[in-house]
Amino acid sequence: MTYCVGMLLDRGLVFMSDTRTNAGIDNIATARKMHTWEVPGERVITLMTAGNLATTQTVIGLIDERTKAPEDRSPSILEAPSMFQIARAVGRTLKEVIADNAEGGAQASAATFGATMILGGQINGSEPRLFLIYPEGNFIEASADNPFFQIGEAKYGKPILVRAYDPAMSFESAIKLLLVSFDSTIKANLSVGLPLDYTTYEQDSFHFGQQGRITADDPYYQTVSNGWGEALKTAFSHLPDFSFETR
Amino acid sequence: MTYCVGMLLDRGLVFMSDTRTNAGIDNIATARKMHTWEVPGERVITLMTAGNLATTQTVIGLIDERTKAPEDRSPSILEAPSMFQIARAVGRTLKEVIADNAEGGAQASAATFGATMILGGQINGSEPRLFLIYPEGNFIEASADNPFFQIGEAKYGKPILVRAYDPAMSFESAIKLLLVSFDSTIKANLSVGLPLDYTTYEQDSFHFGQQGRITADDPYYQTVSNGWGEALKTAFSHLPDFSFETR
């Protein structure tokens, strides 16, 4: 599996992805699942992927090739007029790759080759936008009511996102929140693993903000991981115990 | 879905289950998923169920009928010599019911009728034991390394169990921990819902301890639910923010 989160903040967008891939539990590797394109001053695009690695790498490869061959009949994501059109193009490409892989193969269904993606970015002249793209090629958009998307092993890390997300938070707080969510997931599920990639994008800047990779020996990661465990235990001990007497 | 947890403590066993059942999202109801049998002074048995409700109710019905018809060829769980033999009997019954439901039906696979169970209890002369029973009828046992089992929607509520479980904890703390875990799940997933049933069993007492049902308007539940949300936010705000400068 995988775990990726894309988040819409008042000040822009923030993305985090793990890097573990596995084909069975005895065949694990590290692969980048966060891909970014930038036309400085004009547009920034981030795409994160979860699912079949052959599918996602093919999709990324096709998208990336088109950006370098502008005479291609399919419009490049660097030329599409809106994030909405980019979401449509990515969704169409994803659907085609899945159908292509599934077709004629022995005993393999479309689900085997499935993948889900988070797309976010901004094009000069419109707002930052964030989309969740399904293997069927269709997609939904984030909004104030639904301001973040998770793909992959999303359940373990969801409760803290639900409780602590705040649209006004700083990028520094958002990275902290994402690290807590990722750490809860990593502690509970072997298929999600360090290092973690992150990217921030400040609204109307039209170039990426901070981009980096957090490894297992990162001191800040260790502070969050240990500190959160302790903080949870303290918070838990401060809640009043259940009482059988008052029942 | 469903969420149930069974936990092995130094002082005995504690169980909690939700009560929501659904067949599609527009057909929800409340059903008891925690079933107990007791021979005072001799044995106590708790069985919690997740999965197809027709399957689990049939299994419970068969097990319960056998306890009332002792001349039946299948041994009653009230007469089995050990918790291990009870786990085998329950597993065999579960497997038979699933196979029976799946056989000959149109387009339905065994998975459709699947169910998973948590069995715990103590028989005079041996220790308290806790088992997780799979739809295939086989089972695993809890131990100091693996002291609790979850069935159903287990992922949301696992991180807090991993962090705050302590074998020496009191029943009052254990119920508190379970409520935090259930509350995190209920906040994130519509298929798990209040009220919650709980049962405690004190080792070597051979009768059930506290049994009860916690409803949505329970003041303690509301204290835990609100208090935990606040405590998480406070704990989160006390962790140092990420810093881009030191990268």
**What's the CA angle centered on A79, arms A77 and A81, to 5 degrees?**
95
ipTM topping 0.90: no
Euclidean distance between CA atoms A75 and B74, whole angstroms: 69
Which residue in chain A has the smallest CA separation from B211? A244
pLDDT digits (tens, 9 = 90+) for B198-230: 999 999 999 999 999 999 999 999 999 999 989
Q: Which of A156, A212, A239 sits opposite B231 (nearest CB)?
A: A239
Looking at every residue in chain B, the average pLDDT score rounds to 93
Euclidean distance between CA atoms B44 and B125, whole angstroms: 12
Residue A122 lies in a domain: yes
**CB neighbour list of residue A10: distance below 8 Å, 6 or more residues apart:** A167, A168
Best A16, A236, A238, A245 member to test B by mutation, with max B CBs in 10 Å, is A236
Residue B106 has pLDDT above 90, yes or no: no
The minimum CA-CA distance between B167 and chain A, rounded to whole Å, is 14
pLDDT value of residue A24: 80
pLDDT value of residue B103: 83
Which residue in chain B has the smallest CA separation from A163? B229
Euclidean distance between CA atoms A36 and A47, whole angstroms: 6
pLDDT digits (tens, 9 = 90+) for B45-65: 999 999 999 999 999 999 999
- Please answer yes or no on whether B172 and A212 come within 8 Å at the CB atom: no
- Please answer yes or no on whether B240 and A223 come within 8 Å at the CB atom: yes
- Please answer yes or no on whether A176 and B241 come within 8 Å at the CB atom: yes
* CA-based torsion, A41, B244, A190, B95: positive or negative: negative
Number of domains in chain B: 1
Query: What does the block give as tokens for A210?
Result: 């901070």
Side chain identity, residue B8: L
- Please answer yes or no on whether B210 and A164 come within 8 Å at the CB atom: no
Query: What does the block give as tokens for B152?
Result: 């159903």
Euclidean distance between CA atoms B52 and B57, whole angstroms: 9
Chain A residues within an 8 Å CB radius of B177: 236
Euclidean distance between CA atoms A235 and B233, whole angstroms: 10
- Please answer yes or no on whether B170 and A241 come within 8 Å at the CB atom: yes
pLDDT digits (tens, 9 = 90+) for A76-129: 999 999 999 999 999 999 999 999 988 876 666 667 889 999 999 999 999 999
CA dihedral B122, B207, B144, B148 (to 10 degrees): 100
- Please answer yes or no on whether A159 and B210 come within 8 Å at the CB atom: no
Query: What does the block give as tokens for B33?
Result: 């998923």
What b/e readout covers A99-126, taking b as 16+ CB neighbours within 10 angstroms?
eebbeeeeeeeeeebbbbbbbbbbbeee
Residue B32 has pLDDT above 80, yes or no: yes
Euclidean distance between CA atoms B191 and B153, whole angstroms: 8
Residue A199 has pLDDT above 70, yes or no: yes
Best A146, A239, A247 member to test B by mutation, with max B CBs in 10 Å, is A239
Beta bridge partners of B47: B35, B119
Range of lowest pLDDT (A76-90, B16-30, B65-79): B65-79
Chain B residues within an 8 Å CB radius of A187: 159, 162-163
Residue A207 lies in a domain: yes
Residue A111 lies in a domain: yes
Euclidean distance between CA atoms B79 and B64, whole angstroms: 12
Give the length of chain B: 247
Domain holding B126, by residue range, is 3-237
pLDDT digits (tens, 9 = 90+) for B122-181: 999 999 999 999 999 999 999 999 999 999 999 999 999 999 999 999 999 999 999 999
Residue A247 lies in a domain: no
Residue B246 lies in a domain: no
Which residue in chain A has the smallest CA separation from B198? A244
Euclidean distance between CA atoms A185 and A179, whole angstroms: 10
Residue A242 lies in a domain: no
- Please answer yes or no on whether A231 and B239 come within 8 Å at the CB atom: yes
Residue A246 lies in a domain: no
Residue B242 lies in a domain: no
At B122, which CATH number? 3.60.20.10
Chain A residues within an 8 Å CB radius of B159: 156-157, 159, 184-185, 187-188
